[in-house]
Amino acid sequence: MLLTPDVVAKQSEAQLAKIQEMLVALEAGATTVIGAAREASAEAGEDKYKAYLRFREVVDDFDTLAIVIEYKLKRLKGEKAASLTVKFDELTAFMLSSIIGASLHFLRILSEKTELGFGARDVFKSELRSLYHAKERIRSDRYTGRLNERTQTDLEAAEQILEVVIEKAPRLLRFDDKQE
């Protein structure tokens, strides 16, 4: 097919429509993550972690789709692409804030225990990494100005909790008993 300006414009329109559709799917993915976090958190209080695995799976699905959308958006120019990028950034910022909130909750539940069983230890390590990386990502330039007051408070709490949890980490996680 000859790439005339008309053809290029039509292809670009089709791409934008596809991205819009993906953003709707991403929004649905965000809702699923929030629901899964609630279920996982209720179970973790009772020392059960099956729902937690489901929570991590839906977070992974969200991340994969977000990577695809980011790359597709990078290739497009124009006002509509810019407005979709704003929407995308808002959605990923919202998701990062929710992930930080969920991690804080899980870590609070788990750090109240004096010893962690096998399943709990994996959740603890996974949430430690999740909180650390979400905190690093949300501080990037891309999200400056998009964080609400609640997220700012959560970030301060995250920093404090990481300090405390890491103090207890080798004992609680037993990943390096010989160092203690």
Binding site for another protein (CB under 8 A): 14, 18, 21-22, 25, 60-61, 63-65, 67-68, 71-72, 108, 111, 125-126, 128-129, 132-133, 160-164, 166-167, 169-170, 173, 175-176, 178-179
The answer to whether residues 103 and 130 touch, using CB atoms and an 8 Å cutoff, is yes
Distance CA 157, CA 33 (A): 21
Spell out the residues 6+ positions from residue 27 whose beta carbon is closer than 8 angstroms to its own.
91
Nearer Cβ to another protein (26/40): 26
For the CB of residue 146, give the shortest distance to another protein in the complex, in Å.
Answer: 18
For the CB of residue 16, give the shortest distance to another protein in the complex, in Å.
Answer: 13
For the CB of residue 136, give the shortest distance to another protein in the complex, in Å.
Answer: 9
Structure tokens at 117: 């069983």
Helix (H, G, I), strand (E, B) or coil at 22: helix
For the CB of residue 157, give the shortest distance to another protein in the complex, in Å.
Answer: 9
9, 51, 114 from 85: Cα distances, Å: 19, 32, 45
Nearer Cβ to another protein (79/88): 88
Nearer Cβ to another protein (72/80): 72
Which helix (H) or strand (E) segment holds residue 58: the answer is: helix 50-74
